[in-house]
Structure 1
């Protein structure tokens, strides 16, 4: 797996990361969503540099210009509900992309710390020979992405896979290396070292879905 951790370089991205982590700023859910969206735009821009392009002639009012245009066919796939702001950020830039959505949640069978990831609602186009961009803002244990990837496999084999996340954990990143193809790219803003006993990223930022859309029952 090819890992691109953008926090390592100083840029405006780090300001947005600081705000989504800061509990004094997190109370503004609209700002939280917008910051995640902006992080998605930055990650998408960096990702776009690795895609395939072709030269095209564009007619301007004063003549012709040769411009490189995107050649690859993209599918953006997001995990509901936390992935929606990140998905929108990518869609702002990849506005011609097809879209897929999948519902995945943690189920604690006995009410304890152990959990399994349940995948339910799923809608996706054909993935054959396309660029698949999987978005999940919090790459914690990696089990959600594992189950999403298994569910996607019956929709065709993509040309390449890119994973886009805001914050991940070192254990989660190591975990997903085991089942994604070697040429998979991970685009991530920050990677934290630890997971809590409940499987949450530490220091992380809390529950991204709750911060973006309100606490669920």
Structure 2
């Protein structure tokens, strides 16, 4: 797997990540969602450089011009509910893409916060056959959610390319998806943190992206 950690470069992306992490700024849920959306746009731009391109002629008022444009059939798949702001950022740039949505949540065994499975209950997806699949999950903690999401989608066809898009990941989560996804998969991510807590939350991370975006769940 090819990892593109854009947080290692100096860009405005880091300002948006800082605001997501800040315990005061993140209290503004609208700004929190918008910052994730903007990060999605930046990651989309960088991802677009790895797509396939073809020349297309365009008629202007004064003549014609050939422009090199992407020609991939894209499917954007986001994990509910935390993935929705990130999905919007991707869709702002890849507005012709088809869309897929999947629910995935942690099922803690016997109310044990340390022991859990990732449960997938809902999937709505078009065919993936020979298309470019973009999987969006803002927090890449253990990597199990992305793994189970990909497994759940396998009966919808075999994509020709796979890109994963995340805001913040852990080193352990990145290592896990490296082991389970095809070698030519690309991971586009804004920051990679050092470790997970004993409850598998990213440290220092930013907290629960779903709760910060949409409110605390029961």
Structure 2-normalised TM-score? 0.99
Q: Residue 18 of structure 1: SS of its match in structure 2?
A: helix
Q: Do structure 1's residue 214 and structure 2's residue 205 form an aligned pair?
A: no
Give the unaligned 5+ runs of structure 1: none
1:165-200 superposed Cα distances (whole Å, 9 cap, x missing partner):
000000000011111000000000000011001110
RMSD: 0.5
Matches of residues 39-118 of structure 1 in structure 2 within 5 Å?
39-112=39-112, 113-118=114-119
Shift of residue 109, structure 1, vs aligned partner: 1.7
Residue 26 of structure 1 is matched in structure 2 by 26
Residue 2 of structure 2 is matched in structure 1 by 2
Shift of residue 149, structure 1, vs aligned partner: 0.8
Q: Residue 178 of structure 1: SS of its match in structure 2?
A: helix
Distance 1:212 1:63 in 2: 47
Distance 1:148 1:157 in 2: 14
Give the unaligned 5+ runs of structure 2: none
Distance 1:70 1:188 in 2: 21
Residue 190 of structure 2 is matched in structure 1 by 189
Shift of residue 128, structure 1, vs aligned partner: 0.5
1:35-77 superposed Cα distances (whole Å, 9 cap, x missing partner):
0000000000000001011111100111111111221100000
Matches of residues 191-206 of structure 1 in structure 2 within 5 Å?
191-206=192-207
Structure 1-normalised TM-score? 0.99
Residue 162 of structure 1 is matched in structure 2 by 163
Q: Residue 110 of structure 1: SS of its match in structure 2?
A: helix
Residue 147 of structure 1 is matched in structure 2 by 148
Shift of residue 130, structure 1, vs aligned partner: 0.3
